């Protein structure tokens, strides 16, 4: 950390404040995305989860079953897909002001 302080020109208090602000921003974004997903009834289907698992397995050169075993709980995959679908929804429905 001392090396980081030297390079960044920040002290511990400044770093803590920066980290606090970043964490608050991430929480606000997460809550906003979740609220939009809920309001727009954005859900993830089993088919979408399976398609994502197939893509991931191919990318990591694994069998789907082995990937499932390694991941254990698929909630993270489901949440990631919901976020992506919500972001896609926002992009598709946004209006750009000229």
Could you report the per-residue pLDDT of 50-82, keeping only the tens digit for each?
999 999 999 999 999 999 999 999 999 999 999
47 shares a domain with 20: no
23 shares a domain with 3: yes
Q: What is the pLDDT of residue 46?
A: 96
Total structural domains in the chain?
2
Are 18 and 12 within 8 A, CB to CB? no
Residue 65: which domain range? 43-98
pLDDT at 1 over 80: no
What region does 73 belong to: left with phi over 0, alpha with psi -120 to 50, or beta? Answer: beta
98 shares a domain with 71: yes
Q: What is the pLDDT of residue 54?
A: 97
Could you report the per-residue pLDDT of 35-58, keeping only the tens digit for each?
999 999 999 999 999 999 999 999
Least Cα distance to 52 among 84, 28, 21 occurs for 84
61 shares a domain with 25: no
63 shares a domain with 31: no
């Amino acid at each position: 950390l001392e090396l980081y302080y030297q390079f960044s020109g920040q002290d511990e208090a400044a770093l803590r404040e920066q980290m606090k602000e970043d964490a608050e921003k991430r929480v606000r974004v997460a809550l906003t995305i979740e609220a939009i997903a809920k309001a727009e009834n954005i859900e993830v289907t089993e088919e979408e989860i399976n398609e994502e698992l197939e893509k991931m397995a191919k990318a990591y050169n694994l069998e789907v079953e082995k990937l499932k075993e390694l991941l254990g709980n698929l909630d993270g995959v489901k949440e990631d897909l919901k976020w992506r679908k919500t972001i896609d929804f926002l992009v598709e429905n946004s209006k750009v002001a000229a």
